[in-house]
């Protein structure tokens, strides 16, 4: 049995992990295949998750959250990864909650965060557009001030949680002449919003149970009080400041998935017979799994250090970018090595390693493509 234990864990967190694991095993795993087929979870899963305290775990209790810290979010992300679950977009939900917590007014925090914690509001962040991905300065969605309202026009794509989203952080241009300093974030409640429309739920090669949708805004009028921050033009800075949190959550989820893949593959190779021996008795298998285990352990130690730094408010953008890029790149390599050891069975949906393989691919793209992460890191040299 491995002796390593993350230094940030304690007895209370062990109990919390037990509760998260029970919820995942009882409320998610049995339904995950159906959700993958329909390309979204049932809406009531969000309220069930809120009822047991799995949403907004690191949001202060005074705003309706669980009152924990990033370690609680890490445990939720790990347990989802360790069960091969990508259907519940809890990480994006938490990222949106942090935008509100970090930049919202007192009234905004008390209104939106409490409803996000219960699952009444599902959070989404609408950055990407058909012609603007990593280059956020190229977005075209406009928000024009008209008295006590903003009028929003534009479209967004690849929006995680888009189907069920009740609160969308819409990244808009409030002043197209100012480049990045003309970008703002409007926190938009979607219920009964005139001119708002959810388009297609996109048919992806992986993560099929997690809804990823197109959103359309046609002369949508929202209160001016939806603006996030003290004034217009703060959106780009807000996004840059919150990216370390987002990128570490992606790394944590990737690590959990790697740990799951290693366990599945070790179990399979023990049972699979080849030339009269178990597959695990063959030197190539043993060496491949030795490499995988080493890489997973290195990722664990790196991610643990990031969690400690993030909790202390000391995680810088460069280190978070390193974690996102390296862990997700390694995640894909681990999935490839593990699938290979399953042979032809690994290429069938009968074995979960195939799902882990396709689910992992997008990790190198969203949250900032890994090529962008390398550019950020290179600038620090």
pLDDT by residue for the chain (381 residues), tens only, comes to 468 999 999 999 999 999 999 999 999 999 999 999 999 999 999 999 999 999 999 999 999 999 999 999 999 999 999 999 999 999 999 999 999 999 999 999 999 999 999 999 999 999 999 887 777 778 999 999 999 999 999 999 999 999 999 999 999 999 999 988 999 999 999 999 999 999 999 999 999 999 999 999 999 999 999 999 999 999 999 999 998 999 999 999 999 999 999 999 999 999 999 889 999 999 999 999 999 999 999 999 999 999 999 999 999 999 999 999 999 999 999 999 999 999 999 999 999 999 999 999 999 999 999 999 999 999 999
- Packing angle between helix 235-271 and helix 283-311, nearest 10 degrees? 150
3-state secondary structure at position 50: helix
Say how far apart CA 119 and CA 139 lie, in whole Å: 30
Q: How many CA atoms lie within 13 A of 88 on its CB side?
A: 30
Cβ neighbours for 123, distance < 8 A, ≥ 6 positions apart: 92, 93, 94, 95, 96, 97, 116, 161, 165, 166, 167, 168, 169
Distant-in-sequence contacts of 134-138, Cβ < 8 A, 24+ apart? 134/368, 134/369, 134/372, 136/171, 136/180, 136/183, 136/236, 136/239, 137/179, 137/180, 137/183, 137/236
Q: Alpha helices of the chain — where are they, by DSSP H?
A: 11-23, 32-38, 44-51, 70-82, 90-103, 106-108, 114-118, 235-271, 283-311, 317-341, 352-361, 370-379
Cβ neighbours for 246, distance < 8 A, ≥ 6 positions apart: 91, 95, 367
Quickly count: other Cβ atoms within 10 Å of residue 302's Cβ.
18
Q: What pLDDT score was predicted for residue 1?
A: 42
Q: Report how far apart, in Å, the C-alpha atoms of 38 and of each of 27, 45, 121, 214, 360 are.
A: 17, 14, 21, 16, 20
Q: Give the single-character DSSP code of 26.
A: I
Instruction: Report the predicted TM-score, pTM, of the whole model to 2 decimal places.
Output: 0.94
Quickly count: other Cβ atoms within 10 Å of residue 16's Cβ.
22
Say how far apart CA 90 and CA 253 lie, in whole Å: 11
Say how far apart CA 368 and CA 213 lie, in whole Å: 18
Write down the catalytic residue from 246, 271, 337, 371: 246
Q: 56, 127 in Cβ contact below 8 A?
A: no
Q: Report how far apart, in Å, the C-alpha atoms of 243 and of each of 19, 62, 199, 280, 285 are.
A: 28, 25, 27, 41, 38
Quickly count: other Cβ atoms within 10 Å of residue 263's Cβ.
12
Q: 217, 291 in Cβ contact below 8 A?
A: no
Q: 130, 140 in Cβ contact below 8 A?
A: no
Q: Which two tokens stand for residue 210?
A: 């997690």
Say how far apart CA 210 and CA 227 lie, in whole Å: 28
Nearest to 40 by CA among 205, 161, 191: 161
Angle at alpha carbon of residue 283, lines to 279 and 288, rounded to 5°: 85
Say how far apart CA 122 and CA 273 lie, in whole Å: 47
Say how far apart CA 71 and CA 39 lie, in whole Å: 29
Say how far apart CA 57 and CA 45 lie, in whole Å: 16
Phi-psi label, residue 121: left if phi above 0, alpha if psi -120 to 50, beta otherwise: beta
Catalytic annotation on 350?
Answer: no
Instruction: Give kind and range of the element (H or E) at residue 185.
Output: strand 183-189
């Amino acid at each position: 049995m491995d002796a390593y234990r993350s230094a940030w864990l304690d007895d209370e967190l062990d109990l919390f992990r037990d509760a998260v694991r029970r919820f995942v095993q009882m409320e998610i795993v049995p339904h995950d295949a159906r959700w993958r087929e329909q390309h979204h979870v049932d809406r009531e899963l969000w309220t069930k998750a809120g009822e047991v305290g799995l949403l907004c775990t690191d949001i202060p209790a005074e705003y309706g959250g669980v009152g924990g810290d990033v370690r609680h979010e890490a445990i939720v992300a790990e347990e989802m990864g360790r069960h091969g679950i990508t259907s519940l977009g809890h990480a994006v939900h938490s990222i949106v909650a942090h935008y509100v917590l970090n930049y919202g007014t007192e009234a905004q925090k008390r209104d939106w965060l409490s409803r996000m914690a219960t699952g009444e509001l599902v959070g989404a962040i609408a950055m990407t557009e058909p012609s603007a991905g990593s280059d956020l300065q190229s977005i075209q969605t406009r928000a024009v001030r008209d008295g006590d309202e903003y009028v929003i026009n534009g479209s967004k794509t690849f929006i995680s949680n888009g189907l069920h989203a009740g609160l969308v952080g819409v990244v808009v241009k409030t002043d197209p002449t100012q480049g990045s300093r003309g970008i703002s974030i409007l926190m938009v409640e979607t219920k009964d919003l005139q001119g708002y429309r959810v388009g297609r739920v996109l048919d992806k090669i992986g993560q099929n149970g997690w809804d990823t949708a197109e959103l359309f805004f046609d002369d949508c009028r929202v209160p001016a009080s939806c603006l996030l921050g003290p004034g217009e033009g703060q959106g780009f800075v807000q996004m840059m400041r919150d990216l370390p949190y987002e990128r570490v959550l992606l790394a944590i989820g990737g690590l959990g998935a790697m740990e799951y893949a290693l366990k599945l593959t070790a179990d399979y190779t023990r049972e699979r017979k080849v030339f009269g021996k178990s597959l695990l008795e063959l030197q190539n298998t043993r060496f491949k799994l030795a490499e995988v285990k080493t890489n997973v352990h290195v990722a664990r130690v790196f991610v643990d250090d990031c969690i400690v730094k993030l909790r202390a408010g000391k995680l810088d953008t460069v280190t978070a970018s390193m974690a996102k890029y390296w862990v997700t790149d390694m995640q894909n390599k681990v999935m490839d090595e593990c699938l290979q050891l399953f042979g032809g069975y690994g290429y069938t949906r009968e074995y979960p390693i195939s799902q882990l393989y396709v689910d992992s691919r997008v990790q190198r793209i969203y949250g900032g493509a890994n090529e962008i992460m390398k550019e950020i890191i290179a600038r620090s040299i």
